[in-house]
């Protein structure tokens, strides 16, 4: 991952996208290899490495029995954010959460919960941001707004973003680079705007479907993997 | 260890209690019921026996000490269960938080909640039944310290078990104080027990508190060495419990248990 780069992590269900994110978050130990965040080895210096990281995921809702402000206060302390009160106010304003600051998170709509999760994910101004289907429950307008904000944030702060999504339009619009995963391996990597044509597909969605349906079991190699393996 | 992450764990419990009377009430109600019930039993026993034993001091005092220990233990486990119930493990353990900071936060929470319970019990026991609690003098400090340390150790151990065995295993945690009470002689001397139960009792720090309390109430003084053994045992329990929690947390990260921790993913 490079600074300011948005990388799309694509693959069918069970490909290993969420497992990859969990490994980078330090809640799942890799069976091999190592993870370095800002030059810090996660396995050896977990706390220092995770201080530069944050995430938002649809399956990791913030405690619903705390209000929006309480959740942000709680996580700002967990991430040891200096000047947390000021940062929280900034994020409440940036994500239009000021009117909801005293509302319990559990009663927020999906879109509001997503905005809260993103505000929490930016509390510590991470150098690496992991977003697992961040717009999955948003309407097209809200999703578009969130994508614009994240793109702007990435270019402004130089934060690297690893983004999973099943929305190929979104990936094409947002990501600088994509990784196609299957069974925990990278099948293909490249620019989402040029990759489909380079592999004989019209759209990224068509390429995704083709890759997802290729027989990968029992060591059989798909035709497209040969290209990826040569990189 | 950093202060902010520790404060975060305690602050979260404060937020929950401030916004939820149903969380605060049990901290007060159960101990109040216990003190009132055992206060009347003790008063009744004082009128029907001629043994010369002051049951208010020995029996009600024992109930108060035992409830304090139970509240300390549950102070730790309840704070931990809040993360279980709200499926908050990924959010919490994907932060820079250290295990030592997390456990210290749970202990801080327990200090606050158990103190509330202790104050309520003391008020009721002294005002309603004339419990001469402070007649124990400075001995109160080691007595409460032993029970506090052992409650913390047991709370951390119980949390480790639930982390390993899954949310449903919280039902194994609630009866732990009741299971231990026959062995530590809350209401009777350890000499009453058969040898195998007595041996277990000697390995449990609260036994020394209750033996000494009865001895002091009967005017026989206390065993300083016994209290030192109790403090050492309780400290050892805390170290073992914290070590076990760390080992189980590592296992949960290695096996994927932590990432998928929910009622559905673990039995």
Q: Does residue B261 lie in a domain region?
A: no
- pLDDT(A53) > 90: yes
Q: Angle CA(B231)–CA(B233)–CA(B238) in degrees, nearest 5? A: 95
Condensed to tens digits (0 to 9), the pLDDT of residues B135-146 reads: 777 788 899 999
Same structural domain, A187 and A170:
yes
Report the predicted TM-score, pTM, of the whole model to 2 decimal places: 0.89
Residue A132 is encoded by which pair of tokens?
């697992």
Give the pLDDT band (50/70/90) at residue A216.
low
pLDDT in tens, A198-207: 888 888 888 8
Shared-domain flag, residues A92 and A183? no
* The token pair that represents B2 in the structure block: 């950093």
In a domain, A59, yes or no: no
Residues of chain B with pLDDT under 50: 263, 266-267
CB contact under 8 A, B91 and A19: no
> What is the pLDDT at residue B130?
86
What is the extent of the structural domain holding B91?
Answer: 3-255
Q: Cβ contact (<8 Å) for B259 and A22?
A: yes
Q: Identify the pLDDT of residue B222.
A: 82
Summarize pLDDT for A65-116 with one digit per residue, the tens.
Answer: 999 999 999 999 999 999 999 999 999 999 999 999 999 999 999 889 999 9
Whether A148 and A39 map to the same domain: the answer is yes
Last residue in a domain, options A89, A107, A125: A125
Whether the pLDDT of residue A219 is over 80: the answer is no
Domain end among A104, A125, A146: A125
Q: Which residues of A touch B21 (CB under 8 A)?
A: none
Q: How far is CA B191 from CA A78, B3, B178, in A?
A: 49, 46, 20
Number of domains in chain A: 2
A132 plus A119 within the same structural domain? no
Interface of A with B (CB under 8 A): 19, 22, 25-29, 46-48, 50-51, 53, 55, 57, 59-67, 70, 73-75, 77-81, 84
Asked whether residue A132 falls in the same domain as residue A109, the answer is no
pLDDT of residue A88: 97
Q: Let me know how long chain B is.
A: 267
Are B19 and A65 in contact (CB < 8 Å)?
A: yes
According to the model, what pLDDT value does residue A156 have?
87
Selecting from B4, B16, B95 the residue whose C-beta is nearest the C-beta of A50 gives B95
Q: What is the pLDDT of residue A224?
A: 41
Note whether residue A15 is domain-resident: yes
Domain assignment present for residue A57? The answer is no
Which positions in chain A touch B16 (Cβ < 8 Å)? 65-66
Q: Mean pLDDT lowest for which of A132-136, A223-227, B203-207, B214-218?
A: A223-227
Q: How far is B51 from chain A (nearest CA, A)?
A: 53
Nearest beta carbon to residue B15 from set A27, A66, A81: A66
Q: Looking at CA atoms only, how far is residue A80 from chain B in angstroms?
A: 6
Per-residue pLDDT at A230: 30
Decide if A77 and B8 are in contact by the 8 Å CB cutoff: yes
How many Å from the N-terminal Cα to the C-terminal Cα in chain A?
A: 16
What are the distances in angstroms from CA A74 to CA A67, A196, B97, B125, B156? 10, 44, 12, 37, 22
pLDDT for residue B262: 58
The verdict on A133 and A114 lying in the same domain is no
What is the rounded distance in angstroms from the CA atom of residue B171 to the CA atom of residue B179? 13
Q: Which of B5, B16, B86 sits opposite A78 (nearest CB)?
A: B5
* Nearest CA-CA distance, residue A79 and chain B, Å: 6
| Domain housing A78 | 64-125
pLDDT given for residue A218 in this prediction: 38
Is residue A14 in a domain?
A: yes
Paired residues of B161 in beta bridges: none
Within this chain, do residues A13 and A98 fall inside the same structural domain, yes or no?
no
Kindly tell me if the per-residue pLDDT of A177 is higher than 90. Answer: yes
> What residues contact B177, with CB distance under 8 A and at least 6 apart?
B66, B69, B70, B73
User: Which of B10, B15, B102, B104 is best to mutate for the A interface (most A CBs within 10 A)?
Assistant: B15
d(CA B211, CA B229) in angstroms, rounded, equals: 13
Q: Give the model's pLDDT for residue B209.
A: 94
Structure ipTM:
0.87
What's the order of all strands across the beta sheet hosting A185-190?
A: A53-57, A128-132, A160-164, A6-10, A177-182, A185-190
Look at B95 and A29 and tell me if their CB atoms are within 8 Å.
no
If one counts the domains in chain B, the total is 1
In a domain, A21, yes or no: yes
Boundary of a domain, candidates A105, A125, A145: A125
The confidence band for A221, taking pLDDT boundaries of 50, 70 and 90, is very low
The CA-atom distances, in angstroms, between A113 and each of A72, A75, A88, A138, B259 are 12, 15, 16, 10, 21
Give me the phi and psi of A68, to 5 degrees please: -55, -50
């Amino acid at each position: 991952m490079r600074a300011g780069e948005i990388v799309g992590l694509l693959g069918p269900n069970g490909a290993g996208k969420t497992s990859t994110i969990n490994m980078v978050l330090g809640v799942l130990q890799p069976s091999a290899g190592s993870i370095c965040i800002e030059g810090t080895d996660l396995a050896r210096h977990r706390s220092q490495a995770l201080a530069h990281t944050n995430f938002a995921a649809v399956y990791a809702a913030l405690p619903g029995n705390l209000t929006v402000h309480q959740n942000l206060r709680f996580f700002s302390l967990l991430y040891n954010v200096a000047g947390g009160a000021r940062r929280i106010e900034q994020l409440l304003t940036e994500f239009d959460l000021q009117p909801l600051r005293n509302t319990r998170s559990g009663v927020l709509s999906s879109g509001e919960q997503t905005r809260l999760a993103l505000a929490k994910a930016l509390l510590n101004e991470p150098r690496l941001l992991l977003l697992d289907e961040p717009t999955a429950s948003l309407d097209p307008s809200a999703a578009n707004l969130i994508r614009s904000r994240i793109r702007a944030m990435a270019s402004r702060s130089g934060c690297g973003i690893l983004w999973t999504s099943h929305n190929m339009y979104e990936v094409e619009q947002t990501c600088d680079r994509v990784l196609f995963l299957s069974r925990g391996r990278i099948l293909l990597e490249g620019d989402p705007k040029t990759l489909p044509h380079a592999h004989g597909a019209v759209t990224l969605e068509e390429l995704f479907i083709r890759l997802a349906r290729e027989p990968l079991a029992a060591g059989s190699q798909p035709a497209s993997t040969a290209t990826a393996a040569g990189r | 260890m950093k202060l902010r992450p520790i404060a975060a764990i305690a602050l979260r419990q404060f937020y929950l209690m401030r916004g939820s009377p149903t969380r605060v009430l049990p901290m007060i109600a159960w101990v109040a019921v216990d003190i009132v019930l055992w206060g009347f039993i003790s008063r009744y026993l004082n009128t029907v026996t001629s043994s010369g034993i002051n049951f208010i001091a020995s029996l009600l005092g024992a109930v108060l000490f035992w409830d304090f220990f139970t509240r300390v233990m549950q102070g730790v486990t309840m704070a931990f269960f809040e993360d279980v119930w709200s499926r908050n493990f990924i959010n919490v353990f994907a932060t820079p938080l250290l295990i030592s900071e997390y456990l210290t936060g749970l202990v801080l929470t327990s200090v606050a909640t158990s103190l509330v319970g202790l104050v309520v019990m003391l008020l009721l026991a002294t005002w309603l039944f004339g419990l001469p609690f402070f007649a124990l003098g400075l001995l109160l400090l080691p007595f409460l310290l032993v029970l506090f340390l052992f409650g913390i150790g047991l709370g951390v151990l119980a949390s480790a078990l639930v982390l390993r065995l899954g949310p449903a295993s919280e039902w194994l945690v609630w009866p732990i104080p009741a299971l231990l009470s026959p062995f530590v002689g809350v209401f009777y001397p350890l000499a009453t027990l058969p040898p195998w139960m007595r041996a277990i009792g000697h390995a449990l720090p609260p036994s020394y508190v209750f033996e000494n309390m009865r001895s002091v109430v009967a005017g026989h003084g206390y065993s300083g060495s016994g209290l030192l053994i109790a403090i050492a045992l309780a400290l050892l329990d805390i170290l073992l419990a914290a070590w076990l929690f760390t080992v189980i947390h590592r296992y949960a990260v290695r096996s994927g248990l932590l990432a998928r921790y929910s009622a559905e993913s673990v039995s």
